[in-house]
Structure formats: structure tokens, C-alpha cells
Amino acid sequence: MYVSSDKLAFVVVAGCQRSGTTLLGQILGAHPSAVLIDEPVAYRVIDKLIEDDLDDTLLAECIEAAASIYRASRDACRPELTHVVLKAPNATFRGSELAKINRFAMSYVFAVRDIRDVVSSMSRLFNIDMVSRQAVWLGRAPDEVKSPLINELVCMNDAGVSVNVRRAAVWLAKTSQYRAFTSPPLSGCLVKYEELVRTPDVVKRALCEHVGLDVEQLPEHSEVMCGSGPGYTVRSRSIDGESIGRWTDSVVADMQDEIWNIGASLMSELGYVREMADDLAGLRLSRPRALSQPVVFLGRGGSGTRLLSMVAQELGVFLGNQLNASGDSEEWVDVVYELATCRLLAESVNPRHSNARINKRARSILQKRHGIEEGLWGWKLP
């Protein structure tokens, strides 16, 4: 179907990876008047916007390709489409180039998050060399962006520096760009991940007002934006506090002073304090005994594991809120993937961190449906 770029509004979601750019993109992309173009396709569109050479045919192809990864029962290039959401954290170093766009209707959303949680989240993506990738993006940035960040770039490229310190340098370089994105001419909307978790309805309304979407028509993104995508993200998850303060259960806890000191000035500028606020800490509930007693069902696919799942449920074992047609516990995929990858790569795994990771996900899953109570629970993943 034909689309006209001159009649569409473009929303760029920028910020450091693992700061909530995916979630913000999904929230806005779920709107009936919007479509989300995720990575890497989003960068094709952004390049053309900057070059003032966006072809409507190419835009339609990008929209269709991006929308195809989601299980949404709606035509991507539909008549009511007014907004194209571009989830593009790797455009964060391109603020000066984006500022020169004047032919298209543009708005910007910038995500920020506690440096410790960002570094912790990066450390769980074993298969992605995020530091090296970001060093490449910063190296390509215009001189006016790159020059003030030369120390961070040197740190990113220094293999002799701890990888978590290098990840902190990525956070510092990218998150510092909020100044350019929230000041004229970009005048973007700053969104703290913690505020999104604390007051989702308030943040959603502010987002919609900023980009020009009717918040009253905004559905739950977890019901629309279901599918695959980069970063092994659980697309069907609703907004929850599971990721808040997760750094305390990771390797970051052992070097928190060093990481905090790297970002202390910018964290303070953004309104963060070192101690977690009581209401955010309250999202991280205590662990009852039941959380340490999962029942795990395994087996080779095609060997009767679906029947095993049915039997388990008949016996009262709660396998989660999201089971696929084969009875697999989809909410556990990313956790098991993370732990299995670490083991396969022969990396050192602290049992305390692994147990905390499993307990935290279990707490979130159980609370959504039945509350945290005594009883059999677990997961089935062949």
C-alpha cells in the first residue's frame, strides 16, 4: 500500500541501549495510528531522513518489513497511519545531524536509566559485543559530538580496562546526549525508566501528548507488540518492576563504587541518588520459600514434551502465564538462554547471582496471576 512521508510524523526513540528504548518504542508503536520500525531497518529510514531523500516506496517497504515480525492483526500501511516510530538507540550520536532535518515532521523521545542497571543488563547479553559496536558508532559521529567524548571513546577501545568499566563509559557517552535531544531544536521528551515503571499511565500520557497521539486510544503494548526482535527481548511482557535494582544481584554489585563514580556527575544531573527510593525498592519483594523450589520439565522437542506439559498442569504445577501451542513456558526463555549461554561459554557463574536471577523472574511471574504463594510452580522448555 502507498504511504506519503510528507503526511507522516516521525518519532525517533534514542538513548543508551538497555535504558528502555525497546519498551518505549513498543508503547508508541502499539497505538492504532502508529507503526514501529525496529532495528536495524530504522536506520535505513533515518539515513534517508537526514539526507532529505526519503522515498515513499522505500518507506512502505521498511514499514511492511518491520511490522512483519509482530503478531499484530492490522495492516502496517493502513489509512489511519499517522506516525512512524523509529526505535534507534544507535542514532543517539547523530543529534546534530537530526537537528538539520526540516522537511519532515519530527519528534524525539530519549530514554535514561540508572548506570548500574544498564551495565548489569549489558553484562547479560553474552553474544553481543556491545562496547565494540558503540565504539564504532561513536567513531563515526560528527566531530562536534565525538570530540567532547574522546575520553569515553579511548576507554571503550582499551582492552586492558575492565569490560564493565567500558560498559559504563558507553552509558556515560550515550546518556550525556540527552542534553542535545531535549533542548531546541530537537526538544525531545526525556523518559526515566524508573518513572515509567513507577507511574506508567502518567508517562504514557506525557509521551502521547509529546508526539501527538491520542492517549485514549493507546492499548496495552503487550497485547499488540508480540513477536521476535533484536536483543532477545520478551516482547509480550507488560511493564513491571522486575528489572529495577537488578544490578544488586549481578557482578555489578562487586564493583558498584567504581561504576557509580564513573557516572556520578551525570546521574546527579539527571536527578538520581545512590540509594534506591523506597517505593522502587518495594517493587523488589521478599522471597518466600516457594520461590526456591521450581519444578523443571525438560526433554528433546518432538519426544512428548507437550504431553508432559499437560500432565504437569493437571497435577497443579503452574508453568507460567504465557504458554505457546507446545506448552512451553515462554516467560522463562530469556532467563534460561542467558544462564545456558554463560555455561556454554565456560564463563564463571556465581551461584548467588544465578539463583537471584531465577527467583526474581519467578516472583514476577507468580505475582501476575496467582500471587506469591505456596504451591508447585516451574517451567517446561525442551
pLDDT in tens, 79-138: 689 999 999 999 999 999 999 999 999 999 999 999 999 998 888 776 678 999 999 999
Is the per-residue pLDDT at 218 higher than 60?
yes
The predicted structure's pLDDT at residue 229:
46
Query: What nine digits make up the cell of 44?
Result: 535505513
- Whether residue 192 is found in the same domain as residue 319: no
- Is 279 a domain residue? no
Is the per-residue pLDDT at 372 higher than 50?
no
**Distance in angstroms (rounded) separating the CA atoms of residues 241 and 179:** 27
Is the per-residue pLDDT at 182 higher than 70?
yes
**Beta-carbon contacts of residue 342 (< 8 Å; ≥ 6 apart):** 126, 349
Residue with cell 558508532: 137
- Whether residue 220 is found in the same domain as residue 310: no
- 76 pLDDT band (50/70/90 cuts)? low
- Whether residue 334 is found in the same domain as residue 207: no
Q: What mean pLDDT is predicted for residues 43-53? A: 96
The predicted structure's pLDDT at residue 231:
41
Which segment, 22-26, 254-258, 324-328, is predicted with the most confidence on average? 22-26
- Is 249 a domain residue? no
Instruction: Say if residues 24 and 197 touch (Cβ distance below 8 Å).
Output: no
- 285 pLDDT band (50/70/90 cuts)? very low
| Higher local confidence (pLDDT), 34 or 243 | 34
| Higher local confidence (pLDDT), 234 or 278 | 278
- Whether residue 195 is found in the same domain as residue 62: yes
Q: Which stretch of 131-145, 194-208, 250-264 has the lowest confidence by average pLDDT?
A: 250-264
Task: Give ∠ CA 240-264-125 in degrees, rounded to 5.
Answer: 45
- Whether residue 301 is found in the same domain as residue 161: no
The predicted structure's pLDDT at residue 201:
94
Is the per-residue pLDDT at 212 higher than 50?
yes
Average pLDDT over the chain reads 84
Q: State percent of the chain over pLDDT 90.
A: 51
- Is 240 a domain residue? no
The predicted structure's pLDDT at residue 128:
79
pTM: 0.74
- Is 257 a domain residue? no
The predicted structure's pLDDT at residue 289:
47
Structural domains in the chain (count): 2
Is the per-residue pLDDT at 1 higher than 70?
no
The predicted structure's pLDDT at residue 156:
97
Write out pLDDT tens, residues 141-174: 999 999 999 999 999 999 999 999 999 999 999 9
Q: What mean pLDDT is predicted for residues 177-190? A: 98
- Whether residue 143 is found in the same domain as residue 227: yes
Q: Among 232, 247, 265, identify where a domain stops.
A: 232
Query: What nine digits make up the cell of 295?
Result: 519444578
The predicted structure's pLDDT at residue 137:
97
Q: What mean pLDDT is predicted for residues 282-304? A: 66
Is the per-residue pLDDT at 346 higher than 90?
no
Q: Among 197, 232, 267, identify where a domain stops.
A: 232
Q: Among 215, 232, 249, identify where a domain stops.
A: 232
The predicted structure's pLDDT at residue 75:
57
Is the per-residue pLDDT at 273 higher than 80?
yes
Task: Give ∠ CA 226-323-382 in degrees, rounded to 5.
Answer: 110
- Is 278 a domain residue? no
The predicted structure's pLDDT at residue 50:
97
Q: Which stretch of 275-289, 334-348, 368-382 has the lowest confidence by average pLDDT?
A: 275-289
Write out pLDDT tens, residues 325-344: 888 888 888 888 877 777 77
| Higher local confidence (pLDDT), 301 or 242 | 301
C-alpha closest to that of 72 among 226, 213, 220? 226
CATH of the domain at 76: 3.40.50
- Whether residue 302 is found in the same domain as residue 208: no
- Whether residue 40 is found in the same domain as residue 179: yes
Is the per-residue pLDDT at 230 higher than 60?
no
The predicted structure's pLDDT at residue 121:
86
The predicted structure's pLDDT at residue 281:
62
- Whether residue 82 is found in the same domain as residue 191: yes
Q: What is the 3-state secondary structure (H, E, C) of the chain?
A: CCCCHHHCEEEEEEECCCCCHHHHHHHHHCCCCEEEECCCHHHHHHHHHHCCCCCHHHHHHHHHHHHCCECCCCCCCCCCCCEEEEECHHHHHHHHHHCCCCCCEEEEEEEECCHHHHHHHHHCCCCCCHHHHHHHHHHHCCHHHHHHHHHHHHHHCCCCCCHHHHHHHHHHHHHCCHHHHHCCCCCCEEEEHHHHHHCHHHHHHHHHHHHCCCHHHCCCHHHHCCECCHHHCCCCCCCCCCCCCHHHHCHHHHHHHHHHHHHHHHHHHCCCCCCCCHHHHCCCCCCCHHHHCEEEECCCCCCCHHHHHHHHHHCCCECCCCECCCCCEHHHHHHHHHHHHHHHCCCCCCHHHHHHHHHHHHHHHHHHHCCCCCCCEEEECC
- Is 268 a domain residue? no
Domain that holds residue 308: 285-380
- 247 pLDDT band (50/70/90 cuts)? confident
- Is 241 a domain residue? no
**Beta-carbon contacts of residue 197 (< 8 Å; ≥ 6 apart):** 239, 240, 241, 243, 244, 280, 283
- Whether residue 304 is found in the same domain as residue 228: no
The predicted structure's pLDDT at residue 233:
46
The predicted structure's pLDDT at residue 288:
47
- Whether residue 301 is found in the same domain as residue 189: no
- Whether residue 206 is found in the same domain as residue 329: no
- Is 244 a domain residue? no
Taking residue 20's Cβ as centre, other Cβ atoms within 10 Å add up to 28
